Structure 1
Amino acid sequence: MSAGHHDALDLLGGADCALFLDFDGTLVDIAALPSQVVVTPELLATLAALQLRLGGRLAVVSGRPIAELDTLLAPLVLPAAGVHGMERRGADGVVRRLPQPDFSRVRAEAQALATRHPGLWVEEKHGALALHCRQAPALYPLCSAAMGAAIADRPDLALMAGKMIVEVKATGTGKGTAIRDFLSEAPFRGHRPLFIGDDTTDEAGFEYVQRIDGIGLKVGPGPSMARCRIASAAELRAVLARSAATPTSDKDMT
């Protein structure tokens, strides 16, 4: 980890932590297709142990829909925010979804691009529409420009540029707002947040937690406002496994 990593480790190891984790590129390595990511039994065991150790204060905050996260993390059913906060399931198990905007024009533009260019594909989610170019990375600038033009007169929509994905979502929602909402509820309320992510779509989460005296931890290279950094998802999984296996001290519990 980079400078400041001891702060993240100290928070993760203590009893005051509320842990928020991105999924792709953070908990799991990015794959050629989102359906090809690998979730090992060891990772599932780590997450289960951390959730218990933290008194339930662990949530996954992802661009994926909650239903996809549940399938990939089964049999675990964790508190989760999906589609960058458009849907969120708290510790009470209730899924709350924000109203979905009209994506008609964006959908038509994205589908036209995907038809003209093999390797592009469109994914629709509740409250977001994504154009993937992992199999045609040279087309990323074209995808970004086209999607940006499609929402130029739509202040209710925002463009998010990620790793080989260009996504349009509702304005005013993001990983920062999702974390904020978790922190207003039990068991997260009153605890210091640690948010770990790897992509530009995670920057809103880093900004929010650091603004309220939490810690942002960036996975991998690239510019980021996160004050701490770790080299890779594999290194993060090792750190999380060690933390899960470390008993909480009596001092930490006070």
Structure 2
Amino acid sequence: MKRPVPISEAARERDADWPGPDRMALFLDVDGTLAPIETRPHAVGPVSERNVLLGEVARRLHGRAAIVSGRTIADVDRILDHSITAVAGVHGLERRTALGRQMSSPAHPALVEAKRALQAFAAADSGLEVEDKALSVALHFRRAPGAAEAVRDLAGRLSAATGLSRQDGDCVIELRTPGPSKGDAVAAFMAEPPFAGAAPVFVGDDLTDEDAFRAAVEAGGFGVLVGPPRDTWATHRLASVDEVLAWLRRLARRDETEAAE
């Protein structure tokens, strides 16, 4: 892994075959990528201008645009107004193809026990919030940063006791049904029309996106990290949600050369 360079340098890197709109398959995270991170997950809602833009991008790429998120597909649809058909939710545990076919992993039976334990723990601190995603359960501690160590300790013990997979994110710990990752979701999309044969570009911000960055790189494409530099599988970077949206506007409305500048 290495530290990524700004995406503006992509067109000037002689050793990087940066894909233009006619060759690109675009995969986007939601929180911290298309929408600013909020202290409460449900505070993120639809933004008409952004969602219209996503529809324009999908048309520009001939349908080769997908969302790959930790949120459920239903929640992605709520936030993005159904502007993108192809969606992977709950970090890849559920997926809807570009043709609208939806599939899902069966929920692990231990999720009921894990949810009960997380809710009991969260009851002692109003800054903690439990989110039930049916295939996983998450404990958010953005409003209670002092509880981070205790949250991680509890998640580790529950994962070991139940067989649930532990997923660490930005101020959130998630216990999920073992199964496909975001990287697996990217690979599955790339095996299907209209994505097959294109060069994948995954744009995301969180540690949970690293599997997807790696999948994109290993398939001959690129990962684009959103936010400050860090060691990552992503090879390029955008500084903020606003920079992501500005880049998408260029991608939707300009020719292949301009889109990568």
TM-score by length of 2: 0.88
How far off its partner does 1:179 sit? 0.7
| Alignment-mate amino acid for residue 124 of structure 2 | R
CA distance, structure 1, for counterparts of residue 141 and residue 26 of structure 2: 31
- Stretches of structure 1 lacking an aligned partner (at least 5 in a row): 250-254
Tell me, yes or no, if the aligned pair for 1:28 and 1:39 is still in contact at 8 Å: no
Tell me the alpha carbon deviations over residues 80-129 of structure 1, each in whole angstroms, 9 at most, x when there is no partner: 00101111000111111111112133222211111122211211113211
Structure 2 counterpart of 1:177, from 181, 184, 190:
184
Q: Does 1:42 align with 2:49?
A: yes
Q: Does 1:225 align with 2:225?
A: no
Equivalent residue, structure 1, for 2:10: 7
Equivalent residue, structure 2, for 1:119: 127
Segment drifting more, 73-82 vs 233-242: 73-82
| Alignment-mate amino acid for residue 134 of structure 2 | H
Equivalent residue, structure 2, for 1:150: 158
| Alignment-mate amino acid for residue 150 of structure 1 | L
| Alignment-mate amino acid for residue 124 of structure 1 | D
CA distance, structure 2, for counterparts of residue 177 and residue 100 of structure 1: 18
CA distance, structure 2, for counterparts of residue 72 and residue 4 of structure 1: 28
Tell me the alpha carbon deviations over residues 194-235 of structure 1, each in whole angstroms, 9 at most, x when there is no partner: 000000100110111111211001000244221111111111
Equivalent residue, structure 2, for 1:252: none
| Alignment-mate amino acid for residue 118 of structure 1 | S
Segment drifting more, 72-81 vs 91-100: 72-81
Question: RMSD between aligned alpha carbons?
Answer: 2.1
Structure 2 counterpart of 1:162, from 141, 163, 169:
169
CA distance, structure 1, for counterparts of residue 48 and residue 167 of structure 2: 32
Segment drifting more, 95-104 vs 51-60: 95-104
How far off its partner does 1:65 sit? 0.5
Equivalent residue, structure 2, for 1:202: 209
* Alignment map for 1:89-104 (pairs within 5 Å): 89-102=96-109, 103-104=111-112
Residues 111 and 91 (structure 1 numbering): CA distance in 2 closer, same or farther, change over 3 Å? same
Structure 2 counterpart of 1:65, from 58, 68, 72:
72
Structure 1 segments of 4 or more deviating over 6 A? none
Equivalent residue, structure 1, for 2:85: 78
TM-score by length of 1: 0.91
How far off its partner does 1:170 sit? 2.5
Segment drifting more, 160-169 vs 72-81: 72-81
CA distance, structure 2, for counterparts of residue 39 and residue 233 of structure 1: 15
Tell me, yes or no, if the aligned pair for 2:54 and 2:84 is still in contact at 8 Å: no
| Alignment-mate amino acid for residue 5 of structure 2 | A
Residues 91 and 46 (structure 1 numbering): CA distance in 2 closer, same or farther, change over 3 Å? same
Residues 213 and 25 (structure 1 numbering): CA distance in 2 closer, same or farther, change over 3 Å? same
Tell me, yes or no, if the aligned pair for 2:66 and 2:84 is still in contact at 8 Å: no
SS at match of 2:106: coil
Tell me, yes or no, if the aligned pair for 1:8 and 1:217 is still in contact at 8 Å: no
CA distance, structure 1, for counterparts of residue 123 and residue 10 of structure 2: 48
Segment drifting more, 113-122 vs 4-13: 4-13
Equivalent residue, structure 1, for 2:35: 28
Equivalent residue, structure 2, for 1:132: 140
Tell me, yes or no, if the aligned pair for 2:4 and 2:234 is still in contact at 8 Å: no
Segment drifting more, 141-150 vs 32-41: 32-41
Structure 2 counterpart of 1:18, from 22, 25, 29:
25
How far off its partner does 1:12 sit? 5.4
Aligned length: 248
How far off its partner does 1:154 sit? 4.2
